[in-house]
Amino acid sequence: MTESIDYWSLVYVFVLATFIGLGVIRRVSRLLYTPLMSITNAISAIAVVGSIIVTGGDYPTGIRIMGAIALFASMTNIVSGFLITDRMLKMFKTDRTPKADDRS
């Protein structure tokens, strides 16, 4: 199994994804750099995928503990990252509605 992994295709994926990332991010509105950072925080918490496999696999306890901590850390980033991004984005308005003034 170990020898069957095509490492070069992984490197290709990385390079191409980086170019897509550069292209997409360059067009992000400058107004939204703070929400951009929080949403990419949440996206990079995709480490959750690796954490689930390590936590849930039939492995020695010590290894699964490390996985569980990693899973907790990633999950925290996913939850807080997406929630705070949405919270910030809700605040960006073109004109103000009188109702929204109450919050401040």
Partner 1 sequence: MSHAIVQLSYLVATALFIFALHWMNAPVTARKGVYAGVAAMVIAILATWAQPEVVHHGWIVVAIIAGFAVGIPLSMVPLTAVPQRTALSHSFGGLAAGLVGTAKYYLWVYEGPEHLTTFRMVAIIVEIILGYLTFTGSLMAAGKLQEVKWIPQRPVTYPLQNLINIGLLALAAVIGVALTLNPTATWAPMLFPVVIVLALAFGVLLIIPIGGADMPTVIAILNSYAGLSAVAMGFVLDNKLLITAGALDGASGLILAIIMCKAMNRSFVNVLFGAFGQAQQAKTGGEEKVYKVETIEGGAQVLEQANLVVIVPGYGMAVAQAQHKVRELYDQLRKRGVSVKFAIHPVAGRMPGHMNVLLAEANIPYTDLVEMDEINPEMPQCDVALVVGANDVVNPAARSDKTSPIYGMPIIDADKARTVFAIKRSKNPGFAGIDNELYFSDRTWMLFGDAKNVVGELVKQLSGSTH
Q: Which of residues 1-30 bind partner 1 (CB under 8 A)?
A: 2-3, 5, 7, 10, 13-14, 17-18, 20-22, 24-30
Q: How many chain residues touch partner 1 (CB under 8 A)?
A: 86
99 is an interface residue for partner 1 by CB under 8 A: no
Cβ atoms of 12 and 62 within 8 Å: the answer is no
How far is the C-alpha of 11 from the C-alpha of 75, rounded, in Å?
Answer: 27
Q: Which residues contact 66 (CB under 8 A, 6 or more apart)?
A: 54
Give the footprint of partner 1 on residues 51-80 (CB under 8 A). Answer: 51-60, 62-64, 66-80
